[in-house]
Structure 1
Amino acid sequence: MPEAKPGLQLELLELLLVGAGAVPGALLRWQLALYLGDQNLLVNVLGAALLGFLSGLPAAPRRQLLLGIGFCGSVTTFSSWMLAAVKHLSAGDWAAALGLIGLTLGLGLGAAALGFNLGRRLKPPEPPQSPT
């Protein structure tokens, strides 16, 4: 994750990287919703796994902006997950609401941990050694 900067600063390259990742992420989220219906659990767990994987890789701030914050941030959906839980609660279905919350948290944490550990196992290629 890029280091926090004091105050609000919009660096053009950073802004473009986040936007370039967010657009395909949002479009993918929209298409998944059209074809799979309200699949917040699936989308959020897969997004957690991908973000975990990216975070486990060697540091690359531009990649994190593009794919982590931009793509994963727009393809996953906290607000839709909460709305689904509220709809269950408003219908009086506490078991479904608590099940959705618990299952998403448990699977999401597990997926993020798995992705993170997979990312950490990848090592960058060794630079070629010049003969001396």
Structure 2
Amino acid sequence: MTVLLIAVGAALGAPLRYLTDRAVQARHDSLLPWGTLTVNVAGSLLLGVLLAVPAGPAVTALVGTGFCGALTTWSTFGYETLRLARGGARRHALANVLLSVAAGLAAATLGYALGRALAG
């Protein structure tokens, strides 16, 4: 049952990641991968909320592992950062790393605080 919940969550998260990435990136004429940053920060926020509220193993599998696991993308972040660095845009690569890590941690922290407030 757990594997099925993860698969359902991933089936929702992966297309949402792709569509969000394309929509966000189309609005920016920049070397920075804003679409990947957006989905990673959104996933961090949601995981923070999930950790703070009393969620059972089924919800954690569906939303945390499945949905957020497919929505966020460490591999694309790594690829895009490496592509920037190899393409001579080292400052953009460094900015991507610093911005992604800082924003992801801030979003997870904010999500956790929001989840605690919602849980009462």
TM value normalised by structure 1? 0.80
Larger Rg: 1
SS in 2 for 1:58: coil
- Rounded to whole Å, the distance in 2 between the matches of 1:33 and 1:118 is 25
Per the alignment, residue 61 of structure 2 pairs with 65
| Large movers: runs of 4+ above 6 Å | none
- Rounded to whole Å, the distance in 2 between the matches of 1:103 and 1:80 is 15
Per the alignment, residue 22 of structure 1 pairs with 10
Consecutive unaligned residues of structure 2, counting only runs of 5 or more, are 26-32
Judge conservation of contact 2:45–2:110 (CA < 8 Å) in 1.
Answer: yes
SS in 2 for 1:26: helix
- Rounded to whole Å, the distance in 2 between the matches of 1:29 and 1:41 is 11
Per the alignment, residue 99 of structure 1 pairs with 95
Judge conservation of contact 1:58–1:120 (CA < 8 Å) in 2.
Answer: no
> Would you say 1:32 and 2:28 are equivalent positions?
no
Per the alignment, residue 129 of structure 1 pairs with none
Judge conservation of contact 1:50–1:112 (CA < 8 Å) in 2.
Answer: yes
Which structure shows the higher helix fraction?
2
Q: Which amino acid aligns with 1:15?
A: V
Q: Which amino acid aligns with 1:33?
A: D
Per the alignment, residue 75 of structure 1 pairs with 71
Per the alignment, residue 7 of structure 1 pairs with none
Per the alignment, residue 4 of structure 1 pairs with none
- Rounded to whole Å, the distance in 1 between the matches of 2:92 and 2:7 is 35
SS in 2 for 1:44: helix
Consecutive unaligned residues of structure 1, counting only runs of 5 or more, are 1-12, 125-132
SS in 2 for 1:102: helix
Per the alignment, residue 49 of structure 2 pairs with 53
Judge conservation of contact 1:43–1:75 (CA < 8 Å) in 2.
Answer: yes
Question: How many residue pairs are counted as aligned between the two chains?
Answer: 112
